[in-house]
Chains A and B, each alone.
Chain A
């Protein structure tokens, strides 16, 4: 919503932004846990890091002495993550033991400096790719899409022609809301600007109850205003990761904090965490989520 309002400002005004030098206080130490794992057939990584000065241009320094395990509580099964440098704790791909159990409850345990940090989450179902795709080339004249008045402002008018792809996914519309994180790639590169964080509830703006149809179709790569450009020969790939409701909120909150600008900025706030810090231990922040994923891709021809 804010994006839409922001557009008018560009249209109507002489507003501008300038870099500004600010002396910030130093924050107290935090343990940062980046625990987004999934059922994909690849190594699973949980990162344990220190926090950094906000303006530091180098990545945060790693915590190397943690012991990281994930326990499938429902199946009473442990997955051990071993340190492989750079703050990464890795569960090596084992095709017989994928983390792949819908509705199971998982617990993350991180033992560090005599304390154990924990977090729990449920692995939720994800959407289904529908094998349907629509390709649209730009600039175009005949569809109403870009009569939005956005073309001239959002995109460089002089850019060379490009294509946008809509890959369709299917959401099961059964009154249990599904929360998704849609990641879009060009060839193998993730679109990873904070503005590219594309989350969705039931493939729409909010939970769909009593849907007239058993399924909802939706177009993952294109959140409204979020069209991505492709050239002939590029591969467009989409991954849909399932999220818990709280993780969906976390991503939205994180995105809001990283893109909080303009006339309609909200009050900055600290992102929430689902990591439980033991009493007396350095506070941990970050998130633990176990996703089911689905992926599809298409080559632009």
Chain B
């Protein structure tokens, strides 16, 4: 550790520089709609001296006194060149114009052409929303999360499963940020559709490795989703009617170039379609089954130095009737203030609120019975982040974050016959996560750039609340609570502190290739309690407590990046190794719901994952797309499980191959093709059976978990987009998207399970069955418009 600090200070000592230099800074925006252009490059012409615009489109470039030619570039936009005479610090906003000619054939990511080679980023995957919209989707619904699953290092346990697994990490190890606020459940209808409205999303970035110091709180990945700011030039809108959702969004200026808004909503509408056609006695008549989300954002550019954003997301899934109600959803609210202190220091101050809650209710008046159950998790946070563009060799980032957790594991009330009311209410649990970080991106040599930093996170499990102590027992049996301690408000029950060093390196071999390496340590103070194959909306999170240690992960990776044919092809090979401590597992027959001493049901163990990722992307031309292949292995070691030996994780997928292709046939027609192959997930199969009380109970005498592999998963999807002929002439543009999911109708196994069938003559037949979530071809048509 000491050596690390020394290294950090050595780095800063190199920052001192002569003062005959000046800075040009400002925002880079899209000329057409005023959206900030994330990742646009600003360069001194003919050199490699330059910067890219941050998440808010801000750039700051420091150059020697004198005249310079500055170039601003971004894929899909016309290059802009201008002269500056740097006699003093200059503030200059730049607007880039979309290159419509180029647009037809290019645009995969909105960034500089050779960014993948030159930037510090490794283990980073960006998807442009335009690209996401071209991928053929299940039920034709454009989906951010399902598109992410086509990238190297990312997989899922199957259709319908919530979330995604990154480099052998569990689904709760991904920090999903929507305008910097965490989203706990990223899915509608379990895992079928993600909660992000594609019409409101501007930028999607997944960071799997080399995670920069400004991010923390989850160990496997950061999915940073940025919402559009809203067109600041003119009123515009978009919408569509799909198989599942109908969508509408509206954006426009409140005051031209100063203030704008966007509001976007989606609702599933199958219920509205069905109801008129069912009889009044049909259960569907009174049943509710729909999901919706609403996204809104306002931004106000006060002056060159200050911009304020307010954004909010609200989404819910609702099922049920008068007798049975079940609903869940997220709500987030973010307020941000961008402030430019001087040409070199940029600050973003974020305050956010995030809530995930669900409730489940039964009412049976005929029997005088009812049951209500609810649970939620709430966050408040404040987080200033500073970027200090010290000079063209050093960019320092620092900041801190305070994040509060409050969660209610359950609040259940039951009403039985004779009017007995029974209530089970858990004590709320509170936590406070505080962190500070500093990092420097330093061009040490013209070809060698380092980024080094340290994040220190401190977690307090605080009162008011109860803390349980447990007696030690044999591993994998329920731990009994020995005593309960009651704490007052803000009392410190347990504290954890974790230094999290981060380090990345980029060595540029030549114009087209580079080698990158990174190491990061991450700490995570809350984990999802879920022992089912796919997480359910009812699963609750738990924060680190006196009994549960925080999850710690160390990850190292090395990658080689090479572009071919004038950056037409981007290729990369990355290898990674990840080591996890204190991952949650569960005792046999765990009772995880409505259990005050649920910690007695939990185990913690080690995990490790390693693999290599191969990626080829064609960024230009009529045929574009990518091929990714991941070879990886992920396993666990938990005392008390699988004879105390390493066993493969439930979500292990040895081979994952994705082929994503888009072909622009004519100006009006484009087609897309998507093929995926994933090795089958592991599963525990019995090798014998025991007969007790007339039941055939499966039994595995080896005691080894995940001893078999279910059949592999493969699927082909096709899509075609038709842009209406006279789109050029009209402001109102329309398109139709046709998609066929699972073209060759493969019933991919989600799981294989064992059951006995009771025959009419009273005998039993044991058998194995394969469960397929999607058991057929799924065609769909979506109509889209924008104006």
Q: A1 at interface (Cβ–Cβ under 8 A)?
A: yes
Q: Is the CB of B594 within 8 A of A205?
A: yes
Residues of B within 8 A of A75 (CB): none
Interface hit among A90-98, A106-114, A216-224, A293-301: A216-224
Interface hit among A22-30, A66-74, A229-237: A22-30
Residues of A within 8 A of B696 (CB): 258
Q: Is the CB of B364 within 8 A of A145?
A: yes
The complex places the Cα of A166 from the Cα of B289 at a distance, in Å, of: 30
Residues of B within 8 A of A240 (CB): none
Binary interface encoding of chain B residues 682-717 relative to chain A, with 1 for a CB under 8 A from any of its CBs, else 0: 011111111111111111111101001001000000
Q: A279 at interface (Cβ–Cβ under 8 A)?
A: no
Q: B160 at interface (Cβ–Cβ under 8 A)?
A: yes
Residues of A within 8 A of B684 (CB): 267-269
Name the one of B284, B326, B685, B778 contacting A152, with C-beta atoms under 8 angstroms.
Answer: B284
Residues of B within 8 A of A278 (CB): none
Q: Is the CB of A60 within 8 A of B691?
A: yes
Q: Is the CB of B689 within 8 A of A54?
A: yes
| Min distance, Cβ A10 to any Cβ of chain B, angstroms | 12
| Min distance, Cβ A253 to any Cβ of chain B, angstroms | 4
For window 137-189 of A, CB contacts with B under 8 Å fall at 141, 143-152, 166, 168, 173
Q: B84 at interface (Cβ–Cβ under 8 A)?
A: no
Binary interface encoding of chain A residues 32-76 relative to chain B, with 1 for a CB under 8 A from any of its CBs, else 0: 101010000000000101011111110110000000000000000
Q: B499 at interface (Cβ–Cβ under 8 A)?
A: no
Q: Is the CB of A16 within 8 A of B772?
A: yes
| Min distance, Cβ A132 to any Cβ of chain B, angstroms | 9
Q: Is the CB of A134 within 8 A of B367?
A: yes
Query: What bracket does the count of chain A residues touching chain B fall in?
Result: 35 or more
Name the one of A11, A52, A150 contacting B688, with C-beta atoms under 8 angstroms.
Answer: A52
The size of the chain B interface, using a CB distance under 8 A, is 97
| Min distance, Cβ A138 to any Cβ of chain B, angstroms | 12
Q: Is the CB of B690 within 8 A of A51?
A: yes
Q: Is the CB of A144 within 8 A of B690?
A: no
On whether A5 and B420 interact (CB within 8 A), knowing A141-B281, A261-B769, A267-B531, the answer reads no
A169 (CB) vs chain B CBs: closest residue: B417
| Min distance, Cβ A255 to any Cβ of chain B, angstroms | 8
Q: A85 at interface (Cβ–Cβ under 8 A)?
A: no
Q: Is the CB of B690 within 8 A of A285?
A: yes
Residues of B within 8 A of A206 (CB): 424, 594
For window 279-296 of B, CB contacts with A under 8 Å fall at 281-284, 286-287, 289
| Min distance, Cβ B466 to any Cβ of chain A, angstroms | 15
Q: A78 at interface (Cβ–Cβ under 8 A)?
A: no
Instruction: Decide if the interface of chain A is mainly helix, strand, loop or mixed.
Output: loop
Residues of A within 8 A of B319 (CB): 8
A286 (CB) vs chain B CBs: closest residue: B692
Q: Is the CB of A254 within 8 A of B697?
A: yes
The complex places the Cα of A59 from the Cα of B422 at a distance, in Å, of: 44
On whether A271 and B771 interact (CB within 8 A), knowing A52-B689, A263-B534, the answer reads no
Q: Is the CB of A22 within 8 A of B685?
A: yes
Name the one of A27, A56, A254, A265 contacting B751, with C-beta atoms under 8 angstroms.
Answer: A265
Q: Is the CB of A19 within 8 A of B190?
A: no
Q: B303 at interface (Cβ–Cβ under 8 A)?
A: no
Residues of A within 8 A of B418 (CB): 213, 215-217
Residues of B within 8 A of A192 (CB): 694-695, 758
Interface hit among B10-18, B94-102, B344-352, B759-767: B759-767
Q: B633 at interface (Cβ–Cβ under 8 A)?
A: no
Residues of B within 8 A of A136 (CB): 366
Residues of B within 8 A of A280 (CB): none
Q: Is the CB of A18 within 8 A of B691?
A: no
Residues of A within 8 A of B371 (CB): 205
Q: Is the CB of B323 within 8 A of A147?
A: yes
For window 643-657 of B, CB contacts with A under 8 Å fall at 650
Name the one of B321, B421, B533 contacting A212, with C-beta atoms under 8 angstroms.
Answer: B421
Q: Is the CB of A264 within 8 A of B752?
A: no
Residues of A within 8 A of B273 (CB): none
B771 (CB) vs chain A CBs: closest residue: A17
| Min distance, Cβ A187 to any Cβ of chain B, angstroms | 14
B418 (CB) vs chain A CBs: closest residue: A217
Name the one of B533, B750, B763, B766 contacting A54, with C-beta atoms under 8 angstroms.
Answer: B766
Instruction: For the complex of A and B, list the 8 residue pairs with the smallest distance between their C-beta atoms, beginning with the closest.
Output: A27-B688, A16-B775, A217-B417, A27-B701, A27-B687, A253-B589, A264-B532, A20-B770
- List residues of chain B with CB under 8 Å of any chain A CB: 160-161, 189-190, 192, 281-284, 286-287, 289, 319-324, 326, 360, 362-367, 371, 414, 416-422, 424, 531-534, 536, 538, 586, 588-589, 593-594, 650, 683-703, 705, 708, 711, 747, 749-756, 758, 763-776, 778
- Pick 12 A–B contacts, CB within 8 A, sort by A: A5-B190, A12-B189, A18-B769, A18-B772, A54-B686, A145-B364, A145-B367, A147-B323, A192-B694, A218-B417, A260-B753, A264-B532
Beyond A16-B747, A217-B417, list 8 extra A-B contacts (CB 8 Å): A14-B776, A16-B772, A51-B689, A136-B366, A146-B283, A258-B695, A258-B698, A286-B690
